[in-house]
């Protein structure tokens, strides 16, 4: 990428919290995440030129919009900066990061603060599901699928995949169990105390009903409150700072498909693949150069489909990649496979949406926070040794909006992993 964009700092909230029960609002989530990121960046708030907030449905969940104005409450020095709020359903966070990066690439600003946020625990699960249905073709698809529309949309994707390529419910259970195992290594993950096993995830029970066949409750991401934030900067600003590891945006892609699932080519999602092709072309990298990834596992089937969209596996072979154990962290891999591996590519190292949580507007930003932690060696128990190329894939709706970003560190030259 010709114009460098760097991550200076990152922060997030604990995704297990219920902010309404704490007597707090979306304002508090935004401010907490932003303060953490600015402190991590080690800059004076006066250096921030602009702010972007990614959020899906705060107007429905909390009755609060005009979220950019809350950034001015971080510090008096931020009064007067330009801000905006971007929405692209579950890809709102990813689009927010790209919007900030493009402000820097375009020469408009040197330092931009990005915050992704959602407060969902303000209503019952049934009411929340009705809000989330707005990420799809609401008036058409709610008539077609009924209540809890989104699990049923992704159940339909799973059914199509099963018919075309073959897929067992154990494969779906492997996604859930793997990402819960990763979450146990993440002290801020919503499901960090989970002991979910593959057998648990395969078993239909009172607590794990199969309400959208073949998907069970364990195949679904959780209702989550949370925020995540980043400070991005230009090369010129970065060079003025004390020496530190450079985490840089290497490439990106962003596409939008038809809103209704019936108008898409599931499970191939060729429009989503175009975003991937753009990101690889801009970065000059290939799938074999990626060493870890955070993908949008809103449901277990979406992680398997993502492997193929991103080029990590051929069409129809995503489940086999999962079964091999290649996408599990080394510390938990023995629970999922016992054979030798020709390559490894840990996916959803922080737990993904299923394990870490899915505060919708924050997810795309949280993925980049995880990339930053891995690339700076600050991921704790889930650290991937030597990780220097990290991909994030955030999508909105039923793979309607796709945002792919590739991040890298410039600490030393990277050797490609053999596939």
Q: Where do the domains of the chain lie?
A: 5-123+224-238
Q: Which of 202, 296, 358, 373 is the catalytic position?
A: 358
Query: pLDDT at position 253, please?
Result: 98
Percent of the chain scoring above 90 in pLDDT: 94
Give me the helices (H) in 239-342, please: 270-283, 300-309, 318-324
pLDDT band (50, 70, 90) for residue 327: very high
Query: pLDDT at position 417, please?
Result: 41
Average pLDDT over residues 302-325: 97
Look at residue 33 and tell me whether its pLDDT is greater than 70. yes
Average pLDDT over residues 213-218: 97
Residue 296 catalytic?
Answer: no
pLDDT band (50, 70, 90) for residue 338: low
Strands 83-86 and 50-54: parallel
The dihedral of CA 157, 186, 15, 54: what is its sign? negative
Locate tokens 């490894």: which residue? 344
Average pLDDT over residues 316-335: 94
Average pLDDT over residues 114-123: 98
Query: pLDDT at position 73, please?
Result: 98
C-alpha span between 256 and 203 (Å, rounded) = 36
pLDDT band (50, 70, 90) for residue 341: confident
Global pTM exceeds 0.95: yes
Look at residue 286 and tell me whether its pLDDT is greater than 60. yes
Look at residue 386 and tell me whether its pLDDT is greater than 60. yes
Residue-averaged pLDDT of the chain: 95
Query: pLDDT at position 240, please?
Result: 93
What does the block give as tokens for 361? 């507007």
> Per-residue pLDDT tens for 82-110?
999 999 999 999 999 999 999 999 999 99
Architecture of the domain made up of 5-123+224-238: 3-Layer(aba) Sandwich (3.40)
> Per-residue pLDDT tens for 256-274?
999 999 999 999 999 999 9
C-alpha span between 131 and 134 (Å, rounded) = 6
Q: Where are the beta strands (DSSP E) in 55-150?
A: 83-86, 111-119
Look at residue 229 and tell me whether its pLDDT is greater than 50. yes
pLDDT band (50, 70, 90) for residue 351: very high
Average pLDDT over residues 149-155: 97
Residue among 332, 308, 310 nearest 320 (CA): 308
pLDDT band (50, 70, 90) for residue 376: very high
Q: Which of 90, 233, 298, 373 is the catalytic position?
A: 90
Residue 90 catalytic?
Answer: yes
Average pLDDT over residues 238-250: 91
Percent of the chain scoring above 70 in pLDDT: 97
Across 260-295, b (16+ Cβ under 10 Å) vs e yields bbeebebbbbebbbbbbebbbebbebebebbbbbbb
pLDDT band (50, 70, 90) for residue 287: very high
C-alpha span between 39 and 23 (Å, rounded) = 25
C-alpha span between 90 and 202 (Å, rounded) = 27
DSSP label of 221? P
């Amino acid at each position: 990428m010709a114009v460098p964009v760097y991550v200076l700092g990152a922060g997030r909230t604990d995704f297990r919290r219920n902010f309404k029960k704490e007597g707090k609002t979306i304002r508090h989530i935004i401010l907490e995440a932003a303060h953490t990121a600015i402190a991590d960046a080690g800059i004076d708030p006066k250096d921030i030129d602009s702010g972007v907030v990614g959020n899906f449905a705060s107007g429905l969940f909390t009755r609060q919009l005009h979220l950019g104005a809350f950034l001015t409450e971080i510090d008096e020095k931020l009064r007067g900066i330009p801000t905006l709020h971007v929405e692209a359903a579950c890809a709102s966070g990813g689009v927010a990061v790209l919007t900030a990066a493009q402000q820097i690439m375009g020469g408009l600003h040197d330092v931009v603060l990005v915050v992704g946020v959602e407060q969902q625990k303000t209503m019952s699960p049934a009411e929340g599901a009705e809000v989330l249905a707005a990420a799809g073709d609401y008036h058409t698809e709610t008539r077609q699928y009924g209540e809890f529309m989104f699990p049923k949309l992704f159940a339909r994707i799973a059914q199509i995949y099963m018919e075309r390529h073959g897929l067992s419910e154990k494969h779906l259970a492997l996604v859930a169990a793997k990402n819960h195992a990763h979450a146990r290594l993440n002290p801020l993950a919503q499901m960090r105390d989970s002991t979910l096993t593959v057998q648990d995830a395969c078993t239909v029970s009172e607590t794990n009903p199969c309400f959208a066949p073949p998907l069970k409750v364990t195949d679904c991401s959780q209702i989550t409150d949370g925020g995540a934030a980043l400070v991005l900067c230009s090369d010129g600003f970065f060079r003025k700072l004390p020496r530190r590891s450079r985490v840089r945006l290497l490439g990106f892609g962003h596409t939008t498909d038809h809103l209704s699932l019936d108008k898409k080519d599931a499970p191939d999602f060729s429009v989503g693949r175009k975003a991937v092709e753009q990101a690889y072309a801009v970065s000059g990298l290939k799938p074999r150069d990626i060493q870890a990834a955070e993908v949008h596992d809103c449901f277990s089937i979406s992680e398997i489909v993502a492997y193929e969209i991103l080029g990590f596996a051929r069409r129809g072979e995503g489940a086999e990649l999962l079964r091999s154990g290649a996408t599990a962290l080394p510390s938990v891999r023995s629970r999922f496979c016992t054979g030798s591996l020709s390559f490894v590519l840990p996916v959803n190292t922080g737990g993904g949406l299923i394990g870490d949580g899915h505060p919708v507007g924050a997810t795309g930003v949280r993925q980049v926070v995880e990339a930053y932690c891995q690339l700076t060696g600050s991921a704790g128990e889930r650290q991937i040794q030597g990780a220097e190329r990290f991909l994030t894939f955030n999508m909105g709706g039923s793979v309607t909006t796709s945002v792919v970003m590739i991040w890298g560190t410039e600490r030393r030259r990277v050797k490609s992993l053999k596939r």
